[in-house]
Amino acid sequence: MAFAFSDRLAEAVRRRGPLCVGIDPRWESLPLAIRTAHPDPAAAFEAFSIKALELVEPFAAVVKPQAAFFELLGPDGMAAMKSVLAAAKARGFVTILDAKRGDIASTAEAYAHAAFGPTWDADSLTINPYLGRDAVEPFLAAAKAASRGVFVLVRTSNPGAGLFQDLKVDGRPLYRAVAAEVASWNESTLGECGLGDVGAVVGATHPRELAELREAMPKVWLLVPGYGAQGATAADVKAAYRTDGLGAVVNSSRGVTFPFKPDDPNWEAKIVDAARRASVELR
Residue numbers annotated as active site: 100
Which range of residues in 9-17, 106-114, 214-222, 242-250 is near its own copies by CB under 8 A?
106-114
Which range of residues in 5-13, 43-51, 63-71, 189-197 is near its own copies by CB under 8 A?
63-71
* From candidates 76, 268, 273, 281, binder to its own copies by CB under 8 A: 76
The DSSP 8-state label assigned to residue 240 in this structure reads G
Does position 281 interact with its own copies (CB under 8 A)? The reply is no
* From candidates 32, 36, 40, 164, binder to its own copies by CB under 8 A: 164
Nearest to 250 by CA among 207, 216, 208: 207
Does position 108 interact with its own copies (CB under 8 A)? The reply is yes
The residue among 131 and 234 lying less far from its own copies, judged by its C-beta, is 131
* H-only helix segments in the chain: 5-16, 32-37, 41-56, 67-71, 74-90, 105-116, 133-145, 162-165, 174-186, 207-216, 234-237, 254-257, 267-282
What separation in angstroms does the CA of 168 have from each of 156, 157, 180?
17, 19, 14
3-state secondary structure 85-115: HHHHHHCCCEEEEEEEECCCHHHHHHHHHHH
Q: SS3 for 65?
A: strand
User: Hey, which residues between 123 and 162 contact its own copies (CB under 8 A)?
Assistant: 128-135, 153, 156-162
Nearest to 65 by CA among 52, 46, 84: 84
Does position 105 interact with its own copies (CB under 8 A)? The reply is yes
Does position 119 interact with its own copies (CB under 8 A)? The reply is yes
Site residues for its own copies per CB under 8 A = 24, 26, 66, 68-69, 71-76, 78-79, 82, 100-108, 110-111, 113-114, 117, 119-120, 128-135, 153, 156-165, 167-170, 174, 177-178, 181
